[in-house]
Structure 1
Amino acid sequence: MTTQHRIKRGVSLYSYQYETFLRTMTLDDCIAHAAGLGARGIEVVSEQSFTGFPNVPDEQVAAWFASLDRHNAYAQCHDMFMDIKLYKDRRLNFDEMVASLERDLHFAKRIGCPTVRIIVNTPPEVVVACVPLAEKLDIRMGIEVHSPFHFDHPWILRYTEITRATGSNHVGYVPDMGMYIKHYPPVFRDRFLRMGATPKIVEFILQAHEARVLPDYVIMDVRKLGGNPVDLQMAETLRHNIWSNPRRMLEFMPWIFHIHAKFYEIDETGKEPAIPYEEIIPVLIEGGYDGHLSSEYEGQRHIEDAFQVDGCAQVRRQQEMFKRLLGEQ
C-alpha cells in the first residue's frame, strides 16, 4: 500500500465521555492525551466539554485555546446536535432549526473549528439556508453519514441533491465508519451473553450477520426459535449495524471534510475486529482524502457493566493502528 497521502490524525473528545462524566479527566487532560499521540486535530462535542453550552463564558473559551496551545494541538471539528423535539408539545419549526444551526456555526467560529459535523437528522433545507453564513464564516458543514444511513440511502441522496445544487464548497459530508460493520462487534456479543442471551441463538445471529441476511428475517427467525427478550434485542441491533462498501466514498471524496473513525475496541493484535480499517484507509488514500481521521471510541457503553473502562488505552491503540496503516514511522 502506498504511503503517499495527506491524511491527518485527530481525536474526538467524545472518546473520553466516560472519563469526562466521572470527572477523572479534565478538558485539558483530554487534549493532552490526544496530542501526545500525535493526533493533534481536536474534535469537540461542546455539550460535553463546555459548561453551560451554548452560553459559554469567555474564560472557558480562553482556557480552551490555552490548552490547545500548551499541547501543540488545534481545533478541527465542532459536533452540533439538532434537538428537533426540544419542546414537549411540538417540534422545532424551520426558522428555529435554522437559528439552532446558525448558533452552532457562530460557536464553531468562536472556538476556532473550521468544520461543523451536522447531525444526520437535520433537514437538508435547513443546511441550505445556512450556506450563506457558513461561507461568510468560512466554516464547512458536513452531514454525518451515520449507520444505518449510507451514501445510497434515500435521505442522503436527497441531501446530496439539494445541497449540491447550491454549488457551495462549504457543504458536504462527515462519514462515520460505523456504517462499515463487516463483522459483528465482539463487545456487543459478549454484553448480550452477560445479559442472558441464548448461546445457540447468539451464534445464529452472528452467522446471519456474516451472511448479510436482512434484519427483519433474522428477527422473525429468532422469534420462531423461541428467543428471549435479550435475543430479540441482539437481533434488533442488525438494523443499525450495517455493512456497506467503503469504495462508495470515492464518488463523494471531494466533499468529504472529516471522518469519524468509529471503533468499539482495538484488540491485542492491534485491529478493530468489527470495522476493517485495513480496507478503509487504502480507499481514502486512493481517493486523495486530505482531512482528519478522528478517533471516536464508543465501546465503553458495552463493557462498563463488567470491566474497567480505559478510553485512553483504546484511543492509543487505534492511533497506533493508524500510524501503521498510514505508513508513519
Structure 2
Amino acid sequence: MDYKIGRSVSLYSYQEEYYLGKMNLEDCIREVSKTGATGIELLAEQMVDDFPVITPEFKDQWFGWMDKYGTEPTCYDAFLENHIYDNRTLTLKEQVKMMERDIKIAGELGFKTLRTLVSTPMDVIEGSLGCAEDNNVKICIEVHSPFSLNSGWADGYMNMILKTGTKYFGFMPDWGIFAKRIPDVARDQARRMGAHEECIKLVDDEFEKRCQRGFVKIKYDLDLGKANMEFMKANGFFDMMDKIEKMNGNAADKAYAGDSFTYTWNDPQDIIDNIQYIYHTHAKCYNTHEDYTETSIPIKEVIEAYKKAGYHGFVSTEYEGNRLINDAFDVDSVEQVRRHQEALRRAIEG
C-alpha cells in the first residue's frame, strides 16, 4: 500500500520550557528541526505575540523560520472560546466568526489543517465549511480519549460529512486512544502522592481487563459531561471505585483510579476504517525511554495501521508527560521529543 507519513511536532510538547521562559518560539522550531521532523504544529493563541493580529513583521519572520530550519506548517491548533463572557455563551454567529478568524489565520500562515476540540459544536463546524474551502484549510476534530473513532460519538460527525459532502472536515486521532498501558510516570506520580501499592495494582489490573475485553465506546451527546459519565459507568468506573473504598483507599488512590479513565485502548483497525477522513494525527506520548519505547502506546503497531491504510499526512509528536513528573523532577521536553521522533522514524521506515 502506498503511504507517505511525514513527521511533525506540536509545539505544545515544549510547554514546560516555553512557560518558564527557557525557550521562545524560534527555539521550539529549531529543536524540531534537530529531530529530523519537518512539520510544525503551532498554538498561535499562545505563541504569537499580537494574536489574533498577524502583523506583516511576524508573517515574514514565520516564513523566514520555515526556510531557515527546513520546516513547514502542518497544523494550526484552534481553541473555540465560547464562554468569554460571564453572563452568556457566544451565539452561533459569534462562534462561527471566531472559527473563521482562525481558519483565515491558518491559511495566511501556510497551514493546511486546523485542529478543533471535541467541545466545538457541530453547527459551528458546519457553518465554517465555506470559509475552510475558500482558504484551503481542513478542519479536523481531535479524537481525544475517551472519545474514539468507530463510535456513536464519531457517527454524529460522520453523518454531517456525508450530508454536506464536504472535503474540508475530518478527524485528527490523538494516540491517547491507543494507550495499552497506563504510563509508568503516572504510576510513579501516584506513589509520590501517597497511593498504596495494592490500590495501584487493582487499578492497573482493571485497566488491563478493559483493554482485553474492549472498551464500551462513548456515545454522541451535546452534553459532553453526560456522555463521559455514561462512558465511565459502562466501563466499570463505579465498580472500581467501590473496590478502592473497601480497601480504605485514600485520595491519591482514588485520583489514580479516576485518571486511569483518561487512557483508552482502541483497535488500530479504526484508523484503517476511517483513513479517508483522517487529515492529521496527534502522536501523543507520555514517556519515551532511552531504548525508544514509549511507556504506554505501541508505536509500531499503530504506525503499521497507518501504513496499511495508505495514509498521506503527518503524525505530530505531542508530549504530555511533563505534568506527570514536574511535581518532583525537572522536565526535559527536548529530549523526550527527540526520543519520540526517533521512535516514529524507526516505525515509519522499518
What is the distance in 2 between the residues matched to 1:28 and 1:207? 44
* Residue 246 of structure 1 pairs with residue 268 of structure 2: yes
What is the distance in 1 between the residues matched to 2:63 and 2:300? 34
2:278 aligned partner: 256
1:160 aligned partner: 158
* Residue 282 of structure 1 pairs with residue 304 of structure 2: yes
Provide Cα deviations, 1:238-279, integer angstroms capped at 9, x if missing partner.
222111111111111011000000000101221112011121
* Residue 310 of structure 1 pairs with residue 310 of structure 2: no
Alignment of 1:180-199 (within 5 A): 180-199=178-197
What is the distance in 2 between the residues matched to 1:181 and 1:64? 35
Number of residue pairs aligned between Structure 1 and Structure 2: 326
Between the aligned residues of both structures, percent identity stands at 36
C-alpha contact (below 8 Å) 1:215/1:238 kept by paired residues: no
What one-letter code is carried by the residue in structure 2 that aligns with 1:280? V
Alignment of 1:176-255 (within 5 A): 176-212=174-210, 214-255=236-277
What one-letter code is carried by the residue in structure 2 that aligns with 1:256? I
What is the distance in 1 between the residues matched to 2:131 and 2:65? 28
| Deviation of 1:287 (Å) | 0.3
Higher mean alpha-carbon deviation, 60-69 vs 283-292, is at 60-69
C-alpha contact (below 8 Å) 1:9/1:41 kept by paired residues: yes
One of 103, 107, 110 as aligned partner of 1:109: 107
What is the distance in 1 between the residues matched to 2:290 and 2:238? 34
Provide Cα deviations, 1:15-73, integer angstroms capped at 9, x if missing partner.
11111111111211111111122211110011221113212433222211111111111
What one-letter code is carried by the residue in structure 1 that aligns with 2:269? R
One of 28, 31, 37 as aligned partner of 1:30: 28
Higher mean alpha-carbon deviation, 80-89 vs 203-212, is at 80-89
1:72 aligned partner: 70
What one-letter code is carried by the residue in structure 1 that aligns with 2:237? P
C-alpha contact (below 8 Å) 1:262/1:296 kept by paired residues: yes
Provide Cα deviations, 1:223-251, integer angstroms capped at 9, x if missing partner.
22111111111111122211111111111
What is the distance in 2 between the residues matched to 1:225 and 1:90? 44
One of 39, 47, 50 as aligned partner of 2:48: 50
1:19 aligned partner: 17
C-alpha contact (below 8 Å) 2:54/2:105 kept by paired residues: no
One of 66, 85, 89 as aligned partner of 1:91: 89
Secondary structure class of the residue paired with 2:4: coil
Provide Cα deviations, 1:120-151, integer angstroms capped at 9, x if missing partner.
11111111111111111111111111111001
CA RMSD, 1 decimal: 1.4
What is the distance in 2 between the residues matched to 1:301 and 1:84? 26
C-alpha contact (below 8 Å) 2:144/2:176 kept by paired residues: yes
What is the distance in 2 between the residues matched to 1:65 and 1:171? 26
What is the distance in 2 between the residues matched to 1:155 and 1:98? 22
Higher mean alpha-carbon deviation, 153-162 vs 141-150, is at 153-162
What is the distance in 2 between the residues matched to 1:179 and 1:87? 33
C-alpha contact (below 8 Å) 1:78/1:108 kept by paired residues: yes
Runs of 5+ consecutive residues of structure 1 not aligned to the other structure: none
* Residue 7 of structure 1 pairs with residue 22 of structure 2: no
Secondary structure class of the residue paired with 2:41: strand
| Deviation of 1:156 (Å) | 2.1
What one-letter code is carried by the residue in structure 2 that aligns with 1:33? E
Secondary structure class of the residue paired with 2:312: coil
What is the distance in 1 between the residues matched to 2:302 and 2:95? 34
What one-letter code is carried by the residue in structure 2 that aligns with 1:52? D
What is the distance in 1 between the residues matched to 2:238 and 2:290? 34
C-alpha contact (below 8 Å) 1:127/1:163 kept by paired residues: no
What one-letter code is carried by the residue in structure 1 that aligns with 2:291? T
Secondary structure class of the residue paired with 2:294: coil
| Deviation of 1:88 (Å) | 1.5
Secondary structure class of the residue paired with 2:166: coil
C-alpha contact (below 8 Å) 1:115/1:140 kept by paired residues: yes
C-alpha contact (below 8 Å) 1:124/1:163 kept by paired residues: no
What is the distance in 2 between the residues matched to 1:251 and 1:96? 35
One of 311, 318, 326 as aligned partner of 1:296: 318
What is the distance in 2 between the residues matched to 1:65 and 1:203? 50
C-alpha contact (below 8 Å) 1:182/1:275 kept by paired residues: yes
What one-letter code is carried by the residue in structure 2 that aligns with 1:178? G
1:269 aligned partner: 291
2:232 aligned partner: none
What is the distance in 2 between the residues matched to 1:76 and 1:86? 28
